A and B are shown apart, each in its own frame.
Chain A
């Protein structure tokens, strides 16, 4: 194809997206569109899969059967969401194994929030309430993104995820209304998860490298700073309602702009965790790679069994 032909195709492509048309797997697309989507969608899938680990840590120690079935269902949903997203990414021409390898070798990233430890039961509450809350804010706009398979996966994910945040908040309500020790535990979890949750919505707009292009392709509908403000404004009243305090002395309502002002985020911490120096980065990858390696004989045995059955059928 000549350069002019490609330029022509690119213009038509951008015009289709501007008209809100969806792009489907076999459609022509610019190489950069394909690569950017593979990067974002696979990171999203990896986050779902690694995201099972901090919560999996508490399934056997959930304080009641009600809490246990809910947590188990939530973690199972995360496995499902990872699978929807992996198969949607495969439609762009990357194999599942390549994606796993990128995750396992550290070439691909996942959400840095999962590199923090879950030290008490209250962390299950804080994760559902704050981490899933921030994730929903990130994900809802993606239901309208331009790439069809991604948009369809996100619609399923968002539909299923609303219970995740509710179950987390319910855990926090219960603890906040419990004994002084339980209330302290809830406050301590909020203290530890608040700032990492704000970081989850991404670097500030002035340093975010992908925003402009991603906006054009509808991979992003709102800027990181706007999403963060939305998250803070919706979460602060929820904390107040259950008598917990947001750990930010600079947080105050700004009547003029109709939203909260908040303190500085420690971006050094964020970049440290992204670069692999968070408290749990090594542990998470060890668990993930270990599960993959220990499962190899099962995958091979299943394949051998399937082939044997097929041969027998053909005879």
Chain B
């Protein structure tokens, strides 16, 4: 076993211009250049991408599912944030 392990990187791929980068998986690499090269071989062997982002996994802060209630439930009862909440006369076709 090597003394120092290659860090883990999260890989994001833009499948074509006009679309966002999407997370597609992770891999190990010594540095960001190698992470890009490996990501190209591992995640874009069949033209899946035109652009790659790599981010070292330790730099990602994720929300805790245990807090999902306080984080996301408040949005559930705010129907007035959606257009269907508002009554319009039938004569108004598009708004």
Interface residues of B, count at CB 8 A? 22
Set of chain A residues within 8 Å of B45, measured between Cβ atoms: 73, 76-77, 80, 160
How many residue-residue contacts, CB under 8 A, span A and B? 59
A-facing mask of B3-45, CB < 8 A → 1, else 0? 1111010000000000000000111101100100000011001
Q: Assess whether B31 is in contact with A310, with CB atoms less than 8 Å apart.
A: yes
Partner of A83, one of B4, B27, B65: B27
Q: Assess whether A299 is in contact with B25, with CB atoms less than 8 Å apart.
A: no
A sample of 24 inter-chain contacts (CB < 8 A) reads A24-B65, A26-B64, A28-B65, A73-B45, A76-B41, A76-B45, A80-B42, A83-B27, A84-B42, A87-B8, A87-B27, A88-B25, A90-B8, A96-B5, A97-B1, A97-B5, A160-B45, A302-B6, A303-B2, A303-B4, A303-B6, A303-B30, A305-B30, A306-B34
> In chain B, what residue has the closest Cβ to A23?
B65
Set of chain A residues within 8 Å of B34, measured between Cβ atoms: 302, 306
**4 closest cross-chain pairs (CB), A and B:** A306-B31, A302-B30, A306-B30, A87-B26
Q: How far is the CA of A100 from the CA of B28 in the complex (A)?
A: 14
Q: A153-B25, A302-B34 are in contact. Are A95 and B5 (CB under 8 A)?
A: yes
Interface size of A as a range: 20 to 34
Q: Assess whether A90 is in contact with B26, with CB atoms less than 8 Å apart.
A: yes
B81 interfacial by beta-carbon distance below 8 Å? no
Q: How far is the CB of A34 from chain B (nearest CB, A)?
A: 15
Q: How far is the CB of B35 from chain A (nearest CB, A)?
A: 10
> In chain B, what residue has the closest Cβ to A83?
B42
Q: Which of A1-32 contact B (CB under 8 A)?
A: 24, 26-28
A61 interfacial by beta-carbon distance below 8 Å? no
Q: Assess whether A300 is in contact with B4, with CB atoms less than 8 Å apart.
A: yes
> In chain B, what residue has the closest Cβ to A300?
B2
Residues of A at under 8 Å CB distance from B?
24, 26-28, 73, 76-77, 80, 83-84, 87-88, 90, 95-97, 100-101, 152-153, 160, 296, 299-300, 302-303, 305-306, 309-310
Partner of B25, one of A27, A77, A87: A87
> In chain A, what residue has the closest Cβ to B43?
A80
Set of chain A residues within 8 Å of B28, measured between Cβ atoms: 96
Set of chain B residues within 8 Å of A24, measured between Cβ atoms: 65
Q: How far is the CA of A27 from the CA of B62 in the complex (A)?
A: 12
B46 interfacial by beta-carbon distance below 8 Å? yes
Q: Assess whether B65 is in contact with A309, with CB atoms less than 8 Å apart.
A: no
Q: How far is the CB of A225 from chain B (nearest CB, A)?
A: 33
> In chain A, what residue has the closest Cβ to B4?
A303
Q: How far is the CB of B53 from chain A (nearest CB, A)?
A: 16
Set of chain A residues within 8 Å of B62, measured between Cβ atoms: 26
Q: How far is the CA of A155 from the CA of B13 in the complex (A)?
A: 17
Q: How far is the CA of A165 from the CA of B31 in the complex (A)?
A: 36
Q: How far is the CB of A301 from chain B (nearest CB, A)?
A: 9
Q: How far is the CB of B64 from chain A (nearest CB, A)?
A: 6
Set of chain A residues within 8 Å of B30, measured between Cβ atoms: 299, 302-303, 305-306
Given contacts A27-B65, A302-B6, A306-B34, list 14 more A-B pairs with CB under 8 A.
A26-B65, A76-B45, A80-B42, A80-B45, A83-B27, A87-B25, A87-B27, A95-B5, A96-B5, A96-B28, A101-B1, A160-B46, A302-B30, A302-B34
